[in-house]
Amino acid sequence: MTRLLLPLAGLVVLAALPGFVSEYGLGLMIGAVTYVTLASAWALFSGYTRYISLATVAFYGTGAYVVAVLNEVLPYPLVLLVAALIGGAMALVVGLSTLRLAGVYFVIFTFGLSELVRQLITWYEVNVTGTLGRYIFLDISARGIYWQMLALAAVTIGLTAWIHRRPLGLALRVVGDDETVAAHSGINLARTKLIAFVLSSVILTLAGAIVSPRWVYVEPSIVFNPTVSFLTVIMALLGGANRLVGPALGAVPLFLTFEWLSANFPDTYSIFMGLLFIGVVFALPEGVLAGVDRLRARKLRAAA
């Protein structure tokens, strides 16, 4: 019980926070929790399997676009449901066709996928509907968005913790270490990877759908910004992609850093981002949490 008590208390505190911060502060909190969700959902698939996906924004942007298209036609909960279904279906098709790809080919494919989705929607909007941008007028307050995103983040981390204790979690860890051993031990590789990829993608899609009313105006170049995919990867790696709270731990400080950089150095901030990306991969390939563990082990050995 105590294992659950602390996270629940933390969640209550986080849920109560909007009452004590400014509008600007709330905006920052929404951004931070969004990236906590994205990085945690990304790690649910990529952290376990070590298939580095750059398709985050393909799903995130699709979620936002579903809301943009349907927000005046369907009630909001149904819009979310449709977004989740579309994200899941997309992941199923993509997963079936790509999860056989190894290493760098998978990375490149997922990056290409994001571009493909963006170009398809652009083409459709220009040639079929005759517009490029769309408006989202939904009567959802910033607090409402924050609470929804916080709930999604909590569900994501809770789901990851639950899977970790199930055969699926063990199978995913084996796949991440050695697919050959996994297959010869009786693990169905395709099914294992597909389940995790679909779950992860549905959450990414929902995150895009939930945050989209903040933007009011959306167009493909805004919602399918590849930076989102890269940021998600670097956040998860910084915290530790194979730890339960690693991605969340990486997401919050990095998001705040990038907010500050982009506000103060609008022209050069992507240079800092690139440097940080390189730095993380070189210095902490397994994340901060693993680094802390190693340091602690060294101290223990020195003390002994």
Partner 1 sequence: MTDLIVDNARKDFGGLRAVNDVSFTLGSGEIAGLLGPNGSGKTTLINLISGALPPSAGRIALGSVQLSGRRPDLIARAGVARTFQLVRTLPSLTLIENVMITAVFGSSSHWGSAARRVAEEALATVGLADRANAAAADLTYIDQKRLELARAIAAEPKVLLLDEWLAGLNPTELQEGIELIRSLTRSGISILMVEHIMDAVRALCPRVLVMNSGRLIADEATGAALSDPAVIAAYLGEDEDA
Of 8-16, 129-137, 156-164, 175-183, the segment contacting partner 1 by CB under 8 A is 175-183
Bridge partners for 197 per DSSP: none
Judged by CB under 8 A, the residue of 14, 81, 183, 244 near partner 1 is 183
Bridge partners for 217 per DSSP: 135
What tokens were used for 5?
């008590």
When asked if residue 49 is in the footprint of partner 1 (CB under 8 A), the reply is no
What tokens were used for 109?
């494919």
Contact 110, 200 (CB under 8 A): no
Judged by CB under 8 A, the residue of 88, 112, 144, 176 near partner 1 is 176
The full DSSP string for 83-142 is HHHHHHHHHHHHHHHHTT--HHHHHHHHHHHHHHHHHHHHHHIIIIIS-S-EE------H
When asked if residue 103 is in the footprint of partner 1 (CB under 8 A), the reply is no
Identify the DSSP state of 217: E
d(CA 67, CA 32): 21
Main-chain dihedrals φ then ψ at residue 272, nearest 5 degrees: -60, -40
What type of residue sits at position 251? A
- Closest approach of partner 1 to the CB of residue 242, in Å: 7
Judged by CB under 8 A, the residue of 12, 78, 126, 181 near partner 1 is 181
- Closest approach of partner 1 to the CB of residue 7, in Å: 24
Of 1-9, 122-130, 178-186, 293-301, the segment contacting partner 1 by CB under 8 A is 178-186
When asked if residue 173 is in the footprint of partner 1 (CB under 8 A), the reply is yes
d(CA 295, CA 304): 14
When asked if residue 300 is in the footprint of partner 1 (CB under 8 A), the reply is no
Residues 184-213 within binding reach of partner 1 (CB under 8 A): 184-189
Cα 195 to Cα 44, 190, 191, 282, 289: the distances in Å are 10, 9, 6, 31, 27
- Closest approach of partner 1 to the CB of residue 167, in Å: 6
20 sits in which H/E element: none
Contact 28, 145 (CB under 8 A): no
Question: Token match 């910004």: residue?
Answer: 225
Own/partner long-range contacts of 256-262 (Cβ < 8 Å, ≥24 apart) = 256/28, 256/32, 258/231, 259/28, 259/31
Return the number of other C-beta atoms located less than 10 Å from residue 210's C-beta: 27
Per-residue contact track with partner 1, 229 to 268, x per CB under 8 A?
A: -------------x--------------------------
Q: Which is nearer to partner 1, 3 or 73 (CB)?
A: 3
Judged by CB under 8 A, the residue of 12, 124, 162, 178 near partner 1 is 178
When asked if residue 72 is in the footprint of partner 1 (CB under 8 A), the reply is no
When asked if residue 3 is in the footprint of partner 1 (CB under 8 A), the reply is no
- Closest approach of partner 1 to the CB of residue 180, in Å: 7
- Closest approach of partner 1 to the CB of residue 184, in Å: 5
When asked if residue 141 is in the footprint of partner 1 (CB under 8 A), the reply is no
- Closest approach of partner 1 to the CB of residue 49, in Å: 12
Judged by CB under 8 A, the residue of 170, 195, 245, 261 near partner 1 is 170
Binding site for partner 1 (CB under 8 A): 167, 170-171, 173-174, 176-178, 180-189, 242
